[in-house]
Amino acid sequence: VTDKFTESMYVLANEPSVALYRLQEHVRRSLPELAQHKSDMQSWEEQSQGAIYTVEYACSAIKNMTDSSVYFRSIDSLLKQAIAIKDQLNAAQG
Separation between Cα atoms, residue 33 and residue 87, nearest integer Å: 78
Does residue 16 fall inside a structural domain?
yes
The pLDDT-based confidence of 1 (bands split at 50, 70, 90) is confident
- State residue 30's pLDDT score: 92
On whether residue 74 sits in a domain, the answer given is no
pLDDT at 4 over 90: no
Structural domains of the chain, count: 1
| pLDDT surpasses 90 at 2 | no
Q: What is the Cα–Cα distance from 30 to 25, expressed in whole angstroms? A: 9
User: Residues in the chain, how many?
Assistant: 94
User: pLDDT of 11-69, one tens digit each?
Assistant: 777 777 777 788 889 989 999 999 999 999 999 999 999 999 999 999 999 999 888 88
Domain of residue 25 covers 1-68
Question: Residue 19 carries which side chain, given as an amino acid letter?
Answer: A
Residue 54 lies in a domain: yes
Per the model's pLDDT, the better-predicted residue between 4 and 59 turns out to be 59
